[in-house]
Amino acid sequence: METTKPAGLMAHARLITGVGVAWLFDAMDVGMLSFVIAAVHEEWQLNPVQMGWIGSIGSVGMAIGAIVFGMLADRIGRKTVLIVTLLIFSLGSALSALATGYAFFMVLRLLIGMGLGGELPVASTLVSESVASEHRGRSVVLLESFWAAGWLLAALLSYFVIPHWGWRVAMVITGLAAVYAFYFREGIKESPVYLAKNVQAKPRFWPTFLKLWRPPYRRATLMLWVVWFMVVFSYYGMFLWLPSVMVLKGFSLINSFGYVLVMTLAQLPGYFVAAWLIEKWGRKPVLGGFLFGTALAALGFGLATSLPMLLISGMLLSFFNLGAWGALYAYSPEQYPSVIRSSGSGLSAGIGRIGGIVGPLLVGTMIGHGAALPVIFGIFTAAILIAVVAVFVLGQETMGKPLD
């Protein structure tokens, strides 16, 4: 069945903007976390392994949330799950401002991660099912561009707020997403594809899991699990540590925040270029090409020894990596039929979040043992190249194909 077309351009824009603002708040939290880690490191006298666990515990929650809420969205609807996960994430962020120690802060990061992990794949599924096939890929990538806007706001807040008023004020600002959830409830419609298949039997975990690993979905599932793991592993390993890496390279904390802000500016062009190309070249060339660019930029960042080279390679890393994220979110829901679409995307994202657990921990452990930054970023380069091979060898082009 072809996806139902929105009633005009305004409905399309309202859908992208409504879901996108929720996505923006998610990105604000993840983006700000890299700066918060650097701040609480000094306040609570954390060692590198403890710093790595702050990023990884969120990924534990995201893995749980992606799997649980992805399955739930195939049972009770995309819109309901989006509202629930947005509330979980935002309330957890606001409560983080009350954390007086490492342990309580970690519990809240787990809760926040569950909300984030559930929201992201379900949001991309909702948009995929609500627009016509000729606009589907571009719409999801444009939705992903709100992530860059959220990262930019996070960098601005971290640069202007954290040094003067502290990281707790910044977390309260992120928690204001709870207010938006009430507007979101009235402004967004349920997926027409979900409503059309609502009379079917609701999926259960184990039968759905087995179905994903049987023909004709086995190849797509293998490809997505490999790509998601490698992309999330490298992204959280690199980006959550960016301010701290800049400090390790000899820059002050406040200067590091400013330099990361400059790098973050390159994320939006990355999304827009990917959005423009994805309906011209197709999903595979855009995803594989942007991942390859990410690998080269990661290697360049690890080897850079001067400020200009750090900024250039960091901006290229932001440009290619975030463009690849947009293509991956567009590509993932297109691999499965509607009855298991959110479950398949959620499980893929959940497997990816395991990489998000390993990445920050690996960096913290290797830094604690005195490993050189070129070695660390060389590992991430190799991981991304594995994802490139998986896309081109196992992936099937889905551009223009209707969602059944």
Q: What is the pLDDT of residues 84-104, one digit of tens each?
A: 998 898 889 889 889 888 999
Where do runs of H (alpha helix) occur along 332-372? 338-368
Whether the per-residue pLDDT at 394 is higher than 90: the answer is yes
Token pair in block for residue 351 = 């497997």
Q: What single letter denotes the amino acid at residue 34?
A: S
User: Cis bond leading into 216, ω under 30°?
Assistant: yes
What region does 73 belong to: left with phi over 0, alpha with psi -120 to 50, or beta?
alpha
Structure confidence by residue, pLDDT tens digits, 341-393? 888 988 998 898 888 888 888 888 888 888 888 899 999 999 999 999 999 99
Does residue 245 surpass a pLDDT of 80?
no
| Structural domains of the chain in order of their starting residue, each with its CATH number | 9-394 (1.20.1250.20)
SS3 of 399, please? coil
Q: How far apart are CA 234 and CA 377, in angstroms?
A: 9
pLDDT, position 246? 73
> Full-prediction pTM beyond 0.85?
no
**Position of tokens 């000899």?**
250
Give the pLDDT of residue 55.
74
**Which of 46, 51, 49 has its CA nearest to residue 243?**
51
φ/ψ region of 99 (left if φ > 0, alpha if ψ in -120 to 50, else beta) reads beta
Inform me whether the pLDDT recorded for 183 exceeds 80: no
Please report, rounded to a whole number, the percentage of residues in the chain having pLDDT higher than 70: 92
pLDDT digits (tens, 9 = 90+) for 115-173: 988 888 888 888 888 887 777 878 888 887 888 788 788 878 877 888 888 889 888 88
